[in-house]
Structure 1
Amino acid sequence: MSSKLEDLLSSLEAVAGQHSSDPEAVTTLETAALALHFIRRIGRMNDFWEYVKAVNAEEAWPKPLRSFATEDEARAWLRTQPTLPYETVLEIAGALHTVTRMRDGEWVLIRSPTIEELKAMEESEE
């Protein structure tokens, strides 16, 4: 198994361990790991890594629905939204954030790493 794949699977396992009290989260992470094993088994890992490179290209990244100067401004606006399109992206202080809603109705902002940060992580792995 390639080092990148091993690292990715180890990360999924670690995150699953952090969410062991949430069976749905663990099932989701286990399914992601299973999908990676399937991709490897059918001999398509190289295609997968090429896809990852394409998706991580700046032009492939989603464009933000709205931009805000601060996270507080974004959260205030989110509280007025009954729904948002799936995988909505907001720009907050120049950084992209994916928006999702928890079961309790609370909006969650997940910061996306920049292209530069992703490249730095790749370089540090090599």
Structure 2
Amino acid sequence: MTIFDQILEAQELLGKSRENTQSPEEKKLLLLAIEALWFVWRNGQSYEFENYLEDVDAKAPHRVIAAFNTRDEADAWLGTKPKPPDLALVLIADEYHVVLSSRDGTRCSLVPDPDLEYHIEGMMRDGLPPAGATFNTREEADAWFSSQAEPPAQTVIQIGGEHYLAVYYRNINHRAMFPFSIVERLHARRKRRTEGGLGE
């Protein structure tokens, strides 16, 4: 079944649910879901949506819409956007940031986001996951990752005894490797909040 068929079936199911509900609030929300699917279709994003769903099925980290080496590059890119992509994620030096912008686009900023730290923490809930590949050096791992034409959305690897998550962002054709040790930043923030009496 193609993504177009799936979208049409989902819209039909939502339409039936809308007809059968009595709640005006639920009717409005179901119509919103139907229109969101039309938005994907009519804006030529159906195949992109299909790829997004594959990443969701793979339990991959959340997608980013762009990747930059420096904050200056990211700020320059943001300055070219007449309508900044509010709440979208980007990578700056392989660290997640979220774009925050006003509705009129006159104010926008890039704020560090712990999304990937939470993702890796979830992967470690039952202990370190097994590595799919092992390397002695980062250079070996980079060569292996670069040699793959279409890598999986995510792969756990080991470099010199440390676990990394190799992530392929297919929507922007970007590869990144994240050490599992970034979770320690999350734990340190939690500890500071607890010691400061702020809780989670």
Question: Normalising by the residue count of structure 1, what TM-score does the alignment of the two structures yield?
Answer: 0.48
Whichever structure has more strand as a proportion of its residues is: 2
Whichever structure has more helix as a proportion of its residues is: 1
Higher radius of gyration, 1 or 2? 2
